[in-house]
Protein backbone atom coordinates (compact mmCIF):
# COMPACT_ATOMS: atom_id res chain seq x y z
CA UNK A 1 0.00 0.00 0.00
CA UNK A 2 1.34 3.43 -0.92
CA UNK A 3 1.55 5.88 1.92
CA UNK A 4 2.83 8.81 -0.12
CA UNK A 5 0.49 11.72 -0.59
CA UNK A 6 0.00 13.53 -3.82
CA UNK A 7 2.27 16.52 -3.97
CA UNK A 8 0.75 19.87 -3.34
CA UNK A 9 -1.97 19.01 -0.84
CA UNK A 10 -3.96 22.24 -0.59
CA UNK A 11 -6.65 23.92 1.48
CA UNK A 12 -9.39 24.65 -1.04
CA UNK A 13 -12.23 24.86 1.46
CA UNK A 14 -15.82 25.23 0.33
CA UNK A 15 -17.92 28.03 1.85
CA UNK A 16 -19.70 25.51 4.10
CA UNK A 17 -16.36 24.18 5.35
CA UNK A 18 -15.04 27.69 5.99
CA UNK A 19 -18.15 28.68 7.95
CA UNK A 20 -18.07 25.43 9.95
CA UNK A 21 -14.44 25.96 11.00
CA UNK A 22 -15.04 29.61 11.93
CA UNK A 23 -18.25 28.86 13.86
CA UNK A 24 -16.68 25.90 15.68
CA UNK A 25 -13.62 27.94 16.67
CA UNK A 26 -15.94 30.68 17.97
CA UNK A 27 -17.94 28.13 19.98
CA UNK A 28 -14.89 26.38 21.46
CA UNK A 29 -13.38 29.72 22.53
CA UNK A 30 -16.68 30.66 24.22
CA UNK A 31 -16.82 27.31 26.04
CA UNK A 32 -13.16 27.66 27.13
CA UNK A 33 -13.90 31.18 28.42
CA UNK A 34 -16.62 29.74 30.65
CA UNK A 35 -14.15 27.02 31.80
CA UNK A 36 -16.64 24.36 30.71
CA UNK A 37 -14.19 22.51 28.46
CA UNK A 38 -10.67 22.75 27.03
CA UNK A 39 -8.86 20.55 24.53
CA UNK A 40 -5.50 20.33 26.33
CA UNK A 41 -5.69 17.51 28.88
CA UNK A 42 -2.85 19.09 30.83
CA UNK A 43 -4.75 22.36 31.33
CA UNK A 44 -7.98 20.77 32.60
CA UNK A 45 -6.76 20.00 36.15
CA UNK A 46 -5.81 23.68 36.62
CA UNK A 47 -9.36 24.83 35.86
CA UNK A 48 -10.78 23.76 39.24
CA UNK A 49 -8.87 26.53 41.03
CA UNK A 50 -10.05 29.00 38.38
CA UNK A 51 -13.68 27.87 38.62
CA UNK A 52 -13.56 28.17 42.42
CA UNK A 53 -11.91 31.60 42.27
CA UNK A 54 -8.54 30.61 43.74
CA UNK A 55 -6.56 31.73 40.68
CA UNK A 56 -6.91 34.45 38.06
CA UNK A 57 -7.88 34.30 34.40
CA UNK A 58 -4.47 35.62 33.34
CA UNK A 59 -2.62 32.95 35.37
CA UNK A 60 -4.78 30.19 33.89
CA UNK A 61 -4.19 31.60 30.39
CA UNK A 62 -0.44 31.56 31.00
CA UNK A 63 -0.63 27.87 31.96
CA UNK A 64 -2.65 27.10 28.83
CA UNK A 65 -0.22 28.97 26.58
CA UNK A 66 2.81 27.33 28.16
CA UNK A 67 1.39 23.82 27.73
CA UNK A 68 -0.01 24.40 24.23
CA UNK A 69 2.29 26.67 22.22
CA UNK A 70 4.78 23.94 21.31
CA UNK A 71 2.03 21.67 20.02
CA UNK A 72 0.40 24.46 17.99
CA UNK A 73 3.51 25.63 16.14
CA UNK A 74 5.59 22.45 16.29
CA UNK A 75 2.93 19.83 15.53
CA UNK A 76 -0.42 21.32 14.55
CA UNK A 77 0.79 23.72 11.84
CA UNK A 78 3.40 21.37 10.29
CA UNK A 79 0.97 18.44 10.21
CA UNK A 80 -1.74 20.56 8.59
CA UNK A 81 0.62 21.99 5.99
CA UNK A 82 2.13 18.60 5.10
CA UNK A 83 -1.21 16.73 4.83
CA UNK A 84 -3.66 19.41 3.70
CA UNK A 85 -5.91 18.30 6.59
CA UNK A 86 -6.79 20.35 9.69
CA UNK A 87 -6.16 18.92 13.16
CA UNK A 88 -7.23 19.64 16.77
CA UNK A 89 -3.84 21.07 17.82
CA UNK A 90 -4.16 23.78 15.18
CA UNK A 91 -7.85 24.56 15.81
CA UNK A 92 -8.63 23.88 19.45
CA UNK A 93 -5.43 24.61 21.39
CA UNK A 94 -5.45 28.26 20.20
CA UNK A 95 -9.13 28.60 21.05
CA UNK A 96 -8.37 27.26 24.56
CA UNK A 97 -5.89 30.12 24.97
CA UNK A 98 -8.05 32.80 23.32
CA UNK A 99 -11.14 31.80 25.28
CA UNK A 100 -9.34 31.86 28.63
CA UNK A 101 -7.56 35.09 27.66
CA UNK A 102 -10.77 36.97 26.81
CA UNK A 103 -11.86 39.27 29.66
CA UNK A 104 -15.46 39.41 28.39
CA UNK A 105 -17.86 36.63 27.48
CA UNK A 106 -18.92 38.30 24.23
CA UNK A 107 -15.32 38.80 23.10
CA UNK A 108 -14.34 35.13 23.35
CA UNK A 109 -16.34 33.88 20.32
CA UNK A 110 -15.11 36.86 18.27
CA UNK A 111 -11.48 35.97 19.02
CA UNK A 112 -12.13 32.29 18.36
CA UNK A 113 -13.92 33.01 15.09
CA UNK A 114 -11.07 35.28 14.02
CA UNK A 115 -8.61 32.44 14.58
CA UNK A 116 -10.81 30.13 12.50
CA UNK A 117 -10.77 32.72 9.71
CA UNK A 118 -6.97 32.95 9.88
CA UNK A 119 -6.77 29.17 9.49
CA UNK A 120 -9.18 28.77 6.56
CA UNK A 121 -8.02 31.86 4.64
CA UNK A 122 -4.35 31.95 5.58
CA UNK A 123 -3.20 28.34 5.30
CA UNK A 124 -3.72 28.09 1.55
CA UNK A 125 -1.53 31.14 0.92
CA UNK A 126 1.21 29.79 3.18
CA UNK A 127 0.87 26.39 1.50
CA UNK A 128 1.22 27.84 -2.01
CA UNK A 129 4.23 29.97 -1.06
CA UNK A 130 5.99 27.00 0.53
CA UNK A 131 5.41 24.76 -2.50
CA UNK A 132 6.85 27.44 -4.81
CA UNK A 133 10.15 27.61 -2.91
CA UNK A 134 13.30 26.02 -4.43
CA UNK A 135 13.40 23.64 -1.44
CA UNK A 136 9.81 22.39 -1.04
CA UNK A 137 9.88 21.26 2.58
CA UNK A 138 6.12 20.65 2.74
CA UNK A 139 6.24 17.97 0.06
CA UNK A 140 9.32 16.53 1.81
CA UNK A 141 7.31 16.35 5.08
CA UNK A 142 4.93 13.88 3.43
CA UNK A 143 7.75 11.36 3.96
CA UNK A 144 6.53 11.28 7.57
CA UNK A 145 3.39 9.36 6.62
CA UNK A 146 4.96 5.90 6.27
CA UNK A 147 6.71 5.69 9.68
CA UNK A 148 3.76 7.31 11.46
CA UNK A 149 1.20 4.92 9.99
CA UNK A 150 3.21 1.73 10.41
CA UNK A 151 4.93 2.35 13.76
CA UNK A 152 1.65 3.57 15.26
CA UNK A 153 0.31 0.06 14.57
CA UNK A 154 2.52 -1.28 17.39
CA UNK A 155 1.10 0.79 20.25
CA UNK A 156 -1.08 -2.08 21.61
CA UNK A 157 2.03 -4.34 21.69
CA UNK A 158 3.91 -1.79 23.81
CA UNK A 159 0.93 -1.39 26.15
CA UNK A 160 0.57 -5.16 26.62
CA UNK A 161 4.31 -5.54 27.28
CA UNK A 162 4.34 -2.76 29.90
CA UNK A 163 1.27 -4.06 31.73
CA UNK A 164 1.39 -7.83 31.29
CA UNK A 165 5.04 -8.65 30.68
CA UNK A 166 7.44 -9.54 27.90
CA UNK A 167 5.97 -12.95 27.01
CA UNK A 168 2.47 -11.68 26.30
CA UNK A 169 3.93 -8.61 24.61
CA UNK A 170 6.06 -10.80 22.34
CA UNK A 171 3.01 -12.92 21.43
CA UNK A 172 1.04 -9.76 20.61
CA UNK A 173 3.95 -8.48 18.52
CA UNK A 174 4.18 -11.68 16.47
CA UNK A 175 0.40 -11.68 15.94
CA UNK A 176 0.38 -8.04 14.81
CA UNK A 177 3.30 -8.42 12.38
CA UNK A 178 1.69 -11.56 10.93
CA UNK A 179 -1.60 -9.69 10.46
CA UNK A 180 0.18 -6.76 8.76
CA UNK A 181 1.88 -9.15 6.32
CA UNK A 182 -1.43 -10.96 5.71
CA UNK A 183 -3.31 -7.72 5.11
CA UNK A 184 -0.69 -6.45 2.65
CA UNK A 185 -0.90 -9.74 0.76
CA UNK A 186 -4.69 -10.26 0.70
CA UNK A 187 -6.09 -6.73 0.90
CA UNK A 188 -3.49 -4.39 -0.66
CA UNK A 189 -5.90 -1.43 -0.82
CA UNK A 190 -6.58 -1.56 2.93
CA UNK A 191 -4.39 0.20 5.50
CA UNK A 192 -2.06 -2.63 6.51
CA UNK A 193 -2.13 -1.86 10.24
CA UNK A 194 -5.91 -1.68 10.63
CA UNK A 195 -6.60 -5.36 11.43
CA UNK A 196 -3.42 -5.67 13.52
CA UNK A 197 -4.40 -2.70 15.72
CA UNK A 198 -7.90 -4.08 16.20
CA UNK A 199 -6.60 -7.43 17.42
CA UNK A 200 -3.92 -5.79 19.60
CA UNK A 201 -6.39 -3.51 21.38
CA UNK A 202 -8.84 -6.37 21.90
CA UNK A 203 -6.03 -8.50 23.38
CA UNK A 204 -5.12 -5.72 25.82
CA UNK A 205 -8.72 -5.12 26.92
CA UNK A 206 -9.35 -8.85 27.23
CA UNK A 207 -6.28 -9.36 29.43
CA UNK A 208 -7.24 -6.39 31.64
CA UNK A 209 -10.88 -7.41 32.08
CA UNK A 210 -9.89 -11.01 32.81
CA UNK A 211 -7.43 -9.85 35.48
CA UNK A 212 -10.07 -7.64 37.15
CA UNK A 213 -12.69 -10.39 37.09
CA UNK A 214 -10.24 -12.85 38.64
CA UNK A 215 -9.40 -10.34 41.37
CA UNK A 216 -13.07 -9.67 42.16
CA UNK A 217 -13.79 -13.41 42.40
CA UNK A 218 -10.80 -13.81 44.71
CA UNK A 219 -11.99 -10.90 46.88
CA UNK A 220 -15.49 -12.36 47.16
CA UNK A 221 -14.10 -15.75 48.07
CA UNK A 222 -11.99 -14.13 50.79
CA UNK A 223 -14.96 -12.11 52.07
CA UNK A 224 -13.37 -8.76 51.25
CA UNK A 225 -15.94 -5.94 51.10
CA UNK A 226 -14.97 -2.55 49.72
CA UNK A 227 -16.33 0.28 51.85
CA UNK A 228 -16.70 3.86 50.67
CA UNK A 229 -16.85 6.49 53.44
CA UNK A 230 -20.16 8.36 53.53
CA UNK A 231 -18.34 11.69 53.68
CA UNK A 232 -15.79 10.88 50.95
CA UNK A 233 -14.63 14.35 49.70
CA UNK A 234 -13.72 13.03 46.22
CA UNK A 235 -17.19 11.58 45.76
CA UNK A 236 -18.66 14.95 46.72
CA UNK A 237 -16.38 16.79 44.28
CA UNK A 238 -17.14 14.35 41.45
CA UNK A 239 -20.86 14.75 42.04
CA UNK A 240 -20.68 18.57 41.99
CA UNK A 241 -18.55 18.56 38.81
CA UNK A 242 -20.90 16.19 37.00
CA UNK A 243 -23.89 18.33 38.01
CA UNK A 244 -22.13 21.47 36.71
CA UNK A 245 -21.53 19.89 33.30
CA UNK A 246 -25.10 18.56 33.09
CA UNK A 247 -26.44 22.11 33.58
CA UNK A 248 -24.85 23.06 30.26
CA UNK A 249 -25.96 19.94 28.39
CA UNK A 250 -27.56 21.85 25.44
CA UNK A 251 -24.30 23.75 24.85
CA UNK A 252 -22.31 20.51 24.89
CA UNK A 253 -24.74 18.98 22.41
CA UNK A 254 -24.12 21.90 20.03
CA UNK A 255 -20.38 21.36 20.51
CA UNK A 256 -20.67 17.63 19.76
CA UNK A 257 -22.69 18.40 16.63
CA UNK A 258 -20.07 20.88 15.41
CA UNK A 259 -17.07 18.61 15.93
CA UNK A 260 -18.85 15.67 14.30
CA UNK A 261 -19.84 17.79 11.28
CA UNK A 262 -16.26 18.99 10.84
CA UNK A 263 -15.03 15.37 10.90
CA UNK A 264 -17.74 14.40 8.38
CA UNK A 265 -16.47 17.05 5.94
CA UNK A 266 -13.15 15.15 5.67
CA UNK A 267 -11.01 18.27 6.03
CA UNK A 268 -10.08 17.36 9.62
CA UNK A 269 -8.18 14.51 11.24
CA UNK A 270 -8.19 13.83 14.97
CA UNK A 271 -4.63 12.46 15.19
CA UNK A 272 -1.25 12.26 13.50
CA UNK A 273 -1.87 8.95 11.72
CA UNK A 274 -5.49 9.90 11.04
CA UNK A 275 -4.51 13.08 9.21
CA UNK A 276 -2.51 11.12 6.64
CA UNK A 277 -5.31 8.56 6.21
CA UNK A 278 -7.91 11.31 5.70
CA UNK A 279 -5.59 12.99 3.19
CA UNK A 280 -5.47 9.74 1.20
CA UNK A 281 -9.25 9.28 1.34
CA UNK A 282 -9.12 6.21 3.60
CA UNK A 283 -11.94 7.30 5.90
CA UNK A 284 -12.90 3.86 7.24
CA UNK A 285 -9.29 3.20 8.28
CA UNK A 286 -9.07 6.67 9.83
CA UNK A 287 -12.22 5.94 11.84
CA UNK A 288 -10.73 2.66 13.03
CA UNK A 289 -7.48 4.31 14.18
CA UNK A 290 -9.24 7.09 16.10
CA UNK A 291 -11.69 4.60 17.62
CA UNK A 292 -8.81 2.64 19.17
CA UNK A 293 -7.35 5.84 20.61
CA UNK A 294 -10.60 6.39 22.50
CA UNK A 295 -9.76 3.51 24.86
CA UNK A 296 -6.62 5.31 25.97
CA UNK A 297 -8.37 8.57 26.76
CA UNK A 298 -11.80 7.77 28.26
CA UNK A 299 -10.43 7.24 31.82
CA UNK A 300 -8.19 10.32 31.63
CA UNK A 301 -10.91 12.62 30.29
CA UNK A 302 -13.61 11.22 32.59
CA UNK A 303 -11.53 11.52 35.77
CA UNK A 304 -10.13 14.98 34.98
CA UNK A 305 -13.61 16.20 34.04
CA UNK A 306 -15.10 14.87 37.29
CA UNK A 307 -12.22 16.31 39.32
CA UNK A 308 -12.16 19.76 37.67
CA UNK A 309 -15.69 20.41 36.42
CA UNK A 310 -14.38 20.98 32.87
CA UNK A 311 -14.89 18.57 29.98
CA UNK A 312 -12.86 17.91 26.81
CA UNK A 313 -13.59 19.96 23.68
CA UNK A 314 -13.81 16.71 21.71
CA UNK A 315 -15.34 14.77 24.61
CA UNK A 316 -14.08 11.19 24.60
CA UNK A 317 -13.16 11.79 20.89
CA UNK A 318 -15.80 9.27 19.75
CA UNK A 319 -17.27 11.98 17.52
CA UNK A 320 -14.15 11.82 15.33
CA UNK A 321 -14.55 8.26 13.98
CA UNK A 322 -18.34 8.58 13.91
CA UNK A 323 -18.06 11.78 11.89
CA UNK A 324 -15.69 10.28 9.30
CA UNK A 325 -18.28 7.60 8.53
CA UNK A 326 -21.43 9.74 8.42
CA UNK A 327 -23.00 10.07 4.94
CA UNK A 328 -23.97 13.76 5.31
CA UNK A 329 -23.43 16.68 7.70
CA UNK A 330 -27.05 16.79 8.87
CA UNK A 331 -26.96 13.26 10.20
CA UNK A 332 -23.49 13.94 11.64
CA UNK A 333 -24.87 16.92 13.58
CA UNK A 334 -27.69 14.87 15.09
CA UNK A 335 -25.48 11.91 15.99
CA UNK A 336 -22.70 14.14 17.34
CA UNK A 337 -25.15 15.95 19.61
CA UNK A 338 -26.57 12.67 20.91
CA UNK A 339 -23.09 11.22 21.53
CA UNK A 340 -22.08 14.24 23.62
CA UNK A 341 -25.35 14.10 25.53
CA UNK A 342 -24.75 10.45 26.43
CA UNK A 343 -21.13 11.15 27.39
CA UNK A 344 -21.96 14.05 29.72
CA UNK A 345 -24.90 12.26 31.33
CA UNK A 346 -22.85 9.08 31.83
CA UNK A 347 -19.79 10.74 33.40
CA UNK A 348 -20.64 9.82 37.00
CA UNK A 349 -21.45 6.23 36.05
CA UNK A 350 -18.21 5.92 34.05
CA UNK A 351 -16.25 7.22 37.04
CA UNK A 352 -17.81 4.56 39.29
CA UNK A 353 -17.17 1.76 36.78
CA UNK A 354 -13.54 2.78 36.37
CA UNK A 355 -13.16 2.68 40.14
CA UNK A 356 -14.14 -1.01 40.09
CA UNK A 357 -11.86 -1.96 37.16
CA UNK A 358 -8.33 -0.94 38.16
CA UNK A 359 -6.61 -3.05 35.48
CA UNK A 360 -8.72 -1.50 32.74
CA UNK A 361 -7.88 1.93 34.15
CA UNK A 362 -4.19 0.97 34.11
CA UNK A 363 -4.55 -0.21 30.51
CA UNK A 364 -5.66 3.28 29.56
CA UNK A 365 -2.50 4.75 31.09
CA UNK A 366 -0.33 2.21 29.27
CA UNK A 367 -2.17 2.83 25.98
CA UNK A 368 -1.60 6.59 26.17
CA UNK A 369 2.06 6.06 27.07
CA UNK A 370 2.49 3.59 24.20
CA UNK A 371 0.80 5.93 21.72
CA UNK A 372 3.22 8.68 22.78
CA UNK A 373 6.27 6.40 22.51
CA UNK A 374 5.40 5.09 19.05
CA UNK A 375 4.54 8.52 17.70
CA UNK A 376 7.69 10.13 19.10
CA UNK A 377 9.86 7.59 17.30
CA UNK A 378 7.76 7.71 14.13
CA UNK A 379 7.72 11.51 13.96
CA UNK A 380 11.48 11.75 14.61
CA UNK A 381 12.26 9.09 12.00
CA UNK A 382 9.83 10.63 9.51
CA UNK A 383 11.29 14.09 10.08
CA UNK A 384 14.79 12.78 9.31
CA UNK A 385 13.40 11.15 6.14
CA UNK A 386 11.91 14.53 5.21
CA UNK A 387 15.25 16.21 5.94
CA UNK A 388 17.00 13.75 3.64
CA UNK A 389 14.41 14.30 0.90
CA UNK A 390 14.83 18.06 0.93
CA UNK A 391 18.53 18.41 1.65
CA UNK A 392 20.35 15.07 1.72
CA UNK A 393 23.10 14.87 4.30
CA UNK A 394 23.03 18.60 4.95
CA UNK A 395 19.29 18.43 5.60
CA UNK A 396 19.80 15.61 8.11
CA UNK A 397 22.61 17.59 9.77
CA UNK A 398 20.44 20.70 10.18
CA UNK A 399 17.20 19.02 11.24
CA UNK A 400 18.87 16.44 13.46
CA UNK A 401 21.11 19.14 14.91
CA UNK A 402 18.13 21.36 15.76
CA UNK A 403 16.38 18.42 17.42
CA UNK A 404 19.47 17.55 19.49
CA UNK A 405 19.98 21.22 20.39
CA UNK A 406 16.39 21.34 21.67
CA UNK A 407 17.12 18.27 23.82
CA UNK A 408 20.33 19.84 25.16
CA UNK A 409 18.43 23.05 26.00
CA UNK A 410 15.96 21.16 28.20
CA UNK A 411 13.23 20.87 25.52
CA UNK A 412 11.88 24.43 25.16
CA UNK A 413 9.84 22.84 22.33
CA UNK A 414 8.01 19.70 23.51
CA UNK A 415 9.60 16.48 22.26
CA UNK A 416 6.67 15.41 20.09
CA UNK A 417 6.70 18.71 18.20
CA UNK A 418 10.45 19.36 18.06
CA UNK A 419 11.25 17.28 14.96
CA UNK A 420 8.48 18.67 12.65
CA UNK A 421 9.37 22.19 13.81
CA UNK A 422 13.01 21.44 12.98
CA UNK A 423 12.01 20.36 9.45
CA UNK A 424 10.28 23.69 8.82
CA UNK A 425 13.19 25.72 10.25
CA UNK A 426 15.61 23.52 8.30
CA UNK A 427 13.62 24.08 5.11
CA UNK A 428 13.79 27.84 5.57
CA UNK A 429 17.56 27.66 6.21
CA UNK A 430 18.13 25.51 3.11
CA UNK A 431 16.22 28.02 1.00
CA UNK A 432 18.39 30.82 2.39
CA UNK A 433 21.52 28.82 1.52
CA UNK A 434 20.14 28.29 -2.00
CA UNK A 435 19.60 32.02 -2.47
CA UNK A 436 23.16 32.60 -1.25
CA UNK A 437 24.31 30.10 -3.91
CA UNK A 438 25.65 27.77 -1.18
CA UNK A 439 23.26 24.87 -1.69
CA UNK A 440 21.76 22.97 -4.63
CA UNK A 441 18.33 21.41 -3.90
CA UNK A 442 18.05 17.62 -3.94
CA UNK A 443 16.33 16.39 -7.09
CA UNK A 444 13.44 13.92 -6.76
39 within 8 A of 88, measured Cβ to Cβ: yes
CA distances from 42 to 36, 190, 238, 310, 340 (A): 15, 35, 18, 12, 21
pLDDT for 215 equals: 85
CA distances from 416 to 78, 255, 300, 411 (A): 12, 28, 19, 10
Separation of first and last alpha carbons in the chain:
20
Give the residue-averaged pLDDT of 362-391: 92
CA-based nearest residue to 385, from 434, 423, 414, 427: 423
Tell me the C-alpha distance between 201 and 209, whole Å.
12
Phi-psi region of 311 (alpha: psi -120 to 50; beta: other; left: phi over 0): beta
Give the residue-averaged pLDDT of 246-258: 96
What count of Cα atoms within 13 Å lies in the side-chain half-sphere of residue 196?
Answer: 28
| Chain center to CA of 358 | 24
Q: What is the pLDDT of residues 43-94, one digit of tens each?
A: 998 898 898 888 899 999 999 998 898 899 888 999 998 899 999 999 999 9
pTM comes to 0.88
pLDDT for 45 equals: 86
CB atoms < 10 A from the CB of 52, how many?
A: 10
Judged against a pLDDT cut of 80, whether residue 223 lies above it is answered with no
Tell me the C-alpha distance between 23 and 116, whole Å.
8
23 within 8 A of 254, measured Cβ to Cβ: no
CA distances from 41 to 75, 257, 298, 301 (A): 16, 21, 12, 7
pLDDT for 109 equals: 97
pLDDT for 365 equals: 86
Give the residue-averaged pLDDT of 418-424: 93
Q: Which of the four pLDDT bands, split at 50, 70 and 90, describes residue 236? A: low
Residues 6+ apart with CB under 8 A from 158: 169, 366, 369, 370, 373, 374
CA distances from 204 to 147, 365, 368 (A): 23, 12, 13
Amino acid sequence: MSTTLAAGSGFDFTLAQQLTVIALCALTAFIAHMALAVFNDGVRPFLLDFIQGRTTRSATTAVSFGLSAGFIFGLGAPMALSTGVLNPWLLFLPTDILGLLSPKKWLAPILGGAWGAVVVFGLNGANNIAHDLPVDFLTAMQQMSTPILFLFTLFPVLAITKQFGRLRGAVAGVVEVALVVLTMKLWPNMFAGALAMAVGVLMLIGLAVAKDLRQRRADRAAGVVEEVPADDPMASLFSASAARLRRYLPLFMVLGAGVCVLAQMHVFGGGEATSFLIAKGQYAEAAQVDFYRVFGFIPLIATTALASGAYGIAGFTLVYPIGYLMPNPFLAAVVGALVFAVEVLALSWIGKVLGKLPSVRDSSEHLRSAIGDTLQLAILFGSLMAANAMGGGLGILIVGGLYLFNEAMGRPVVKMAAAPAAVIVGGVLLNLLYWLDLFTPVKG
